[in-house]
């Protein structure tokens, strides 16, 4: 009788266990269905992001018309970038975080490309011409990869260049009576024909950024 009683108790206990397993399976299936629905909503459904309008994309280089100087005082412009793939980044030398971090990232990408880095134009254009003279730019970019060129110019020409690249920036007063600059933080990538290809976002991992650049070099 004791044997049958133990069996009955195990049988009674197995009922809740079976129900728990069934409920867990149902919950897991519901979570999977929800995840698939969310993925559809964000990619193909009503929640999908609209493509960027053409007006928000940088112009092809041969349609740009700005004129600046590089950190050695030489005249430069969109024609300077013709014939080779290019990476262009807007920022300023007084930038506390985004600019030095991005230029350090670019240095790492160029190091990873090794000899292929010589096939790229790499340009850092200031959005703060009031403080960023050619001499200041030379000192600043000198702390990073030697392929990086610093470009500056008059406020009007900087504004024209930013407009051609569809970059945005604004002067922001600070509490100490000085100012900082808010600006577009992405790196613009162009192919050898001067056509805009893609952007590399701020803090984008090297394992994503470097293949993007290689594809442009191989294109």
Q: What is the CATH number of the domain that holds 146?
A: 3.40.30.10
- Co-location of 43 and 65 in the same domain: no
User: 53 CB contacts (<8 Å, ≥6 apart)?
Assistant: none
Burial pattern 97-134, b for ≥16 Cβ within 10 A else e, equals ebbeebbebbbebbeebeeebeebbbbbbbbbbeebbb
Max intra-chain CA distance, the chain: 102
- Co-location of 36 and 59 in the same domain: no
Alpha-carbon torsion (193, 196, 208, 99), positive or negative: positive
Does pLDDT of 27 surpass 70? no
Report the C-alpha gap between 59 and 190 in whole angstroms: 10
DSSP letter, residue 33: H
- Co-location of 100 and 75 in the same domain: yes
Q: Which of 33, 49, 65 is the last residue of a domain?
A: 49
- Co-location of 131 and 207 in the same domain: yes
- Co-location of 109 and 183 in the same domain: yes
Report the C-alpha gap between 79 and 63 in whole angstroms: 10
- Co-location of 44 and 120 in the same domain: no
Residue-wise pLDDT for 70-92, tens only, equals 999 999 999 999 999 999 999 99
Q: Which of 49, 67, 82 is the last residue of a domain?
A: 49
Range of the domain at 23: 1-49
- Co-location of 100 and 36 in the same domain: no
Does pLDDT of 23 surpass 70? no
Using DSSP, how many helices (H) and how many strands (E) does the chain show? Answer: 5, 9
Residue-wise pLDDT for 108-140, tens only, equals 999 999 999 999 999 999 999 999 999 999 999
- Co-location of 43 and 149 in the same domain: no
Q: What is the pTM of this model?
A: 0.75
How many domains does one find in the chain? 2
């Amino acid at each position: 009788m004791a044997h049958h009683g133990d069996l009955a108790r195990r049988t009674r206990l197995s009922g809740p266990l079976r129900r728990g397993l069934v409920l867990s399976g149902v919950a897991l299936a519901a979570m999977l269905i929800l995840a698939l629905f969310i993925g559809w909503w964000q990619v193909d459904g009503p929640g999908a992001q609209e493509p960027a309008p053409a007006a928000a994309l940088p112009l092809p280089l041969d349609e740009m018309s700005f004129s600046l100087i590089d950190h050695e005082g030489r005249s430069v412009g969109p024609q300077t970038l013709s014939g080779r793939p290019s990476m262009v980044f807007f920022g300023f030398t007084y930038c506390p975080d985004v600019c030095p971090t991005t230029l350090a990232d670019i240095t790492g990408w160029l190091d990873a490309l090794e000899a292929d880095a010589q096939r790229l134009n790499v340009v850092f254009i200031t959005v703060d011409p009031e403080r960023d003279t050619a001499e200041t730019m030379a000192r600043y970019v000198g702390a990073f990869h030697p392929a990086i060129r610093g470009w500056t110019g008059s406020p009007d020409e900087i504004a024209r260049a930013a407009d051609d690249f569809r970059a945005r920036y604004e002067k922001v007063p600070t509490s100490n009576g000085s100012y900082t600059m808010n600006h577009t933080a992405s790196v613009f990538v162009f192919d050898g024909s001067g056509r805009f290809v893609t952007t590399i976002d701020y803090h984008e991992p090297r394992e994503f950024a470097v293949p993007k650049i290689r594809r442009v070099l191989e294109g």
